[in-house]
Amino acid sequence: MDAELKEQLGALTLKLEGKSQNEVKSAIEAFEVKNKEVIDNQIKEVKESFEVQLKELQNHADKLDVKLQEKTKKEMVKGDAIKSAINENFEAIKSVRKGQAVQVKAVGDMTLGASLTGDQPRTYNYDVVSVPGQALNVSDLAGSVSISGGTYTFVKVVKGEGAIGAQTEGASKSQIDYDYTMVDVNTDFIAGFARYSKKMANNLPFLESSLPNELRRDYLISENAAFNTVLAGAATASTLTSGNSIERLIANVAVLEGINHVVNGIVISPADYWSILVTEKSTGAGYGLPGVVTFDGGILRISGIPIYKATWLAANKYFVGDWSRVKKVVTEGLSLDFSETEGSNFVKNEITARIEAQVALAVEQPSALIFGDFTTVA
């Protein structure tokens, strides 16, 4: 309200003091008529001022509402993330003890490294990849005889004196005698064992089939080594000092057939076997083998006599002979036994696997087998 209007109202108030009600009413009405425009302008100014202030308040309220909505949305997203993390780690939270901290991870990409505790599932191949055994065993070449005791005795005859000859009429017939020798071969054990826990057997199902195979392979390797030593010690040593490998083998076949032995097998190392196949006719003349050497049925042969590869025989060594004159003597055949009571197995929950055989090798006719060396020279 402006000063002039205030002054007029003040003067009117003083003028009306002591007047009657009707006089006061008439004076006020006359004042309103006289100052209507001024009063209306004042009311309009007040109203406009109020509307401006109201609009400012509304704008401010709208801004506050937007901020509140954004904050609420963020809180909801955060709440969902926390809820998801809690659900993901519920078991860990449920089992937590007082004073222990629980690590709750936020939502993220799943990977084996980040999302998996422990090992991932595996697929096992129980066909164990093993070390190969020897393809040819001495027992594959030799004959076999089973005995009940620990000694095998064979009788060896040696020609004595005299000779059978043509009879001259009226003369005495020729007399001859023979000497006999009793030869003893004692069998002994070739054996070994492995010990393992019951837990290992239960947790590794492939052990039941794998272990026996490993033991049999290693037993045969040991048996072949022992029998090879017997063969080399009993066989007749070759006297050849010249010729290449194939020439020496052929010459030794001739030696044995010359004393009436029937050669049925030759044994050499794998290295020498394949070396024979690249034998030169002569230096610089290319490769070639004598006509009596053939490759039949996957086996190299000399006039039909098979040549065998054996890894138990050292390189440059060879055997040529009649293998029917060699016997594997068996008191107790190969056996594989398991025991949970051997030694301290019972109290330790262990199992012993034992493999063994009581055997020997008898070279009944040493002259029927020649042992030689391709590198021997005069």
Return all residues near 157 (Cβ < 8 A) that are at least 6 apart.
178, 179, 180, 181
pLDDT score of 18: 62
Verdict on whether the full-model pTM lies above 0.85: no
pLDDT score of 292: 86
pLDDT score of 212: 94
pLDDT score of 71: 63
The amino acid at residue 21 is Q
Do 291 and 304 touch, CB atoms closer than 8 A? no
pLDDT score of 1: 53
pLDDT score of 122: 84
Backbone dihedral region for residue 318 (phi beyond 0: left; psi -120 to 50: alpha; all else: beta) = beta
* Distance (Å, whole) CA 270 – CA 310: 6
pLDDT score of 286: 61
* Distance (Å, whole) CA 52 – CA 139: 117
Q: What's the N-to-C CA distance of the chain in angstroms?
A: 148
DSSP code string of 65-90: HHHHHHHHHHHHHHHHHHHHHHHHTH
* Distance (Å, whole) CA 376 – CA 378: 7
Domains of the chain: 1-116 (no CATH), 138-150+190-373 (3.30.2320.10)
- For the segment 150-203, what is each residue's pLDDT rounded down to a tens digit? 999 999 998 788 889 998 888 999 999 999 999 999 999 999 999 999 999 999
pLDDT score of 149: 94
Do 209 and 215 touch, CB atoms closer than 8 A? no
pLDDT score of 125: 80
Q: What is the mean pLDDT of each run of 10 residues along the chain (378 residues)?
A: 62 64 68 69 74 77 70 59 62 57 68 86 84 96 96 91 89 92 97 96 89 96 98 96 92 97 97 86 67 86 95 97 97 96 95 97 97 90
Kindly provide the b/e burial profile for residues 226-242, where b requires at least 16 CB atoms within 10 angstroms of the residue's own CB. bbbebbeebbbebebee
* Distance (Å, whole) CA 111 – CA 183: 76
Work out the burial of residue 355: count CB atoms within 10 Å of its CB; fewer than 13 is exposed, 13-18 middle, 19 or more buried: buried
